[in-house]
Amino acid sequence: MILPRGIISDPTLPEIPASDIEVIRKILADRTGFQLSSYKDKCVRRRISIRIRATHSSTAAEYCTLLAGDDRELAHLVKVLTIHVSHFFRNPSTFQKLRQEIIPALFALSQKAGGRPLTFWSVGCSTGEEPYSLALLLLEHFAGQAAVTPVSILASDVNAAILDHARDALYGPERLGEVPPDLVARRFTPEGDRFRLCDEARAMVDFCRADLVSADPFPACDLILCRNVLIYFERPQQEVILKRFAGALAGGGFLVLGKSETLVGGARGNFQTVCPVERIYRATQ
C-alpha cells in the first residue's frame, strides 16, 4: 500500500471543498471499506484532484456524483489512492539482514519453544513482490529449517483488486532487477516478455484484504514487514498502528519499517532497536 513519495504543488489541479471530501470519504468507506480520513490530507487531496481533472468533471461536486454512480471510477480512485510500486528484494541490504540474522534468530526461538510454527506478515504487500521475496529466501536458504518448523507468510493490502495481480505472480523484467539471474532461472518461467513465479513459492503466501485502521485484530506474528506504509498516515494513527504491531509481536518478534520511517510517540517504549540502518526493531512485550 504505497502512496507516491513526492507531493508537488500543481495550481492547475482543482480545489476540493471540505464538504465534497466528506462525501468522497463516505462513498469510499461505505462501498469499499477504504478509510480515507486516516491518510495525510495533502496526499489524498492531490490524488483526488487528479481524478477530477482526468474525468473532465467541472467541479468536485460533479465528481462526487460520478463517483457515486460509477463502480469503475470508484475502483480507479482506490487504485490511485494506493499507487503500488514494488520489486523483488527491494532494498537488498534489508533482505540480507533478514537472511543472515533475523530469520535464523526466529528459527532458533521456535526450536527453544518446542518447534512452534512461525508467521511472517507483509503489510501493504502491493502486487506481491515483498512476500514472495520472503518465500524465495526460505526456499533458497532455509529449506531444512522450514521442513521442521512450518512458516506461514501472510500478505495484506487495502486494495482488493491489486491482490489479484499478486496471486497471479506474473512480472515484467523491471520487477526482477535485484534477483540474481540463476535464481530467476530456477524459480521463474518466461511467459512472453514476462516471468511467472514458481508454484512452490506462490503456495507459501496467503493474500487477503486488510486495512490497518480497521477494528479487526492483527494476527499474531513473529516478523512484520511494514515498509513505506506508515509515512502516509497521520502521526497519531502511526502510533496506534505501531502499538498494535507490538501486541501482535508479543512473543518478542521483529518489525521492519521503511528506510524513511521510524518509531513515534509512546510506541517507542514497545520496541528495542535491532538495526537502525535497516529500521529493524524487536517488540519488548
Give the list of residues 6+ apart from residue 210 with CB closer than 8 angstroms, or none: 123, 156, 157, 158, 216
pLDDT at 196 over 90: yes
Q: Up-side HSE of residue 48: CA atoms within 13 Å toward CB?
A: 28
Phi-psi group of 84: left, alpha or beta (phi > 0 → left; psi -120 to 50 → alpha; rest → beta): beta
Sign, CA dihedral 208-259-240-266, equals positive
Beta bridge partners of residue 255, listed in sequence order: 224, 281
Both ends of the chain: CA-CA distance in Å? 27
Please, what are the domains in the chain? 18-81 (no CATH), 92-283 (3.40.50.150)
CB 37 within 8 A of CB 26: no
> pTM for this structure?
0.78
Indicate the helix (H) or strand (E) that contains 20.
helix 18-32
The CA–CA distances, whole Å, from 212 to 40, 88, 229, 245 equal 14, 23, 10, 10
Higher pLDDT, 126 or 234: 126
Average pLDDT over residues 103-110: 96
Share of the chain above pLDDT 70, in %: 92
pLDDT score of 8: 34
pLDDT at 3 over 70: no
Higher pLDDT, 7 or 164: 164
pLDDT score of 2: 36
Identify the residue whose cell numbers are 505501531. Answer: 242
Identify the residue whose cell numbers are 496471486. Answer: 167
Cα 99–chain centre separation: 20
pLDDT score of 84: 59
| Confidence label for 81 from pLDDT (cuts 50, 70 and 90) | confident
pLDDT score of 164: 92
Stated length of the chain = 285
Residue among 173, 162, 152 at smallest CA distance from 2: 162
Beta bridge partners of residue 154, listed in sequence order: 121, 206
- Quote the CA–CA distance of 127 and 132 in Å, as a whole number: 10
Residue among 39, 22, 33 at smallest CA distance from 237: 39
CB 63 within 8 A of CB 52: yes
- Quote the CA–CA distance of 122 and 132 in Å, as a whole number: 10
Going along the chain, which residue ranges are E strands? 118-123, 151-157, 170-171, 188-191, 194-197, 205-209, 223-226, 254-257, 271-275, 280-283
Cα 138–chain centre separation: 20
- Helix and strand counts by DSSP (H, E) for the chain: 12, 10
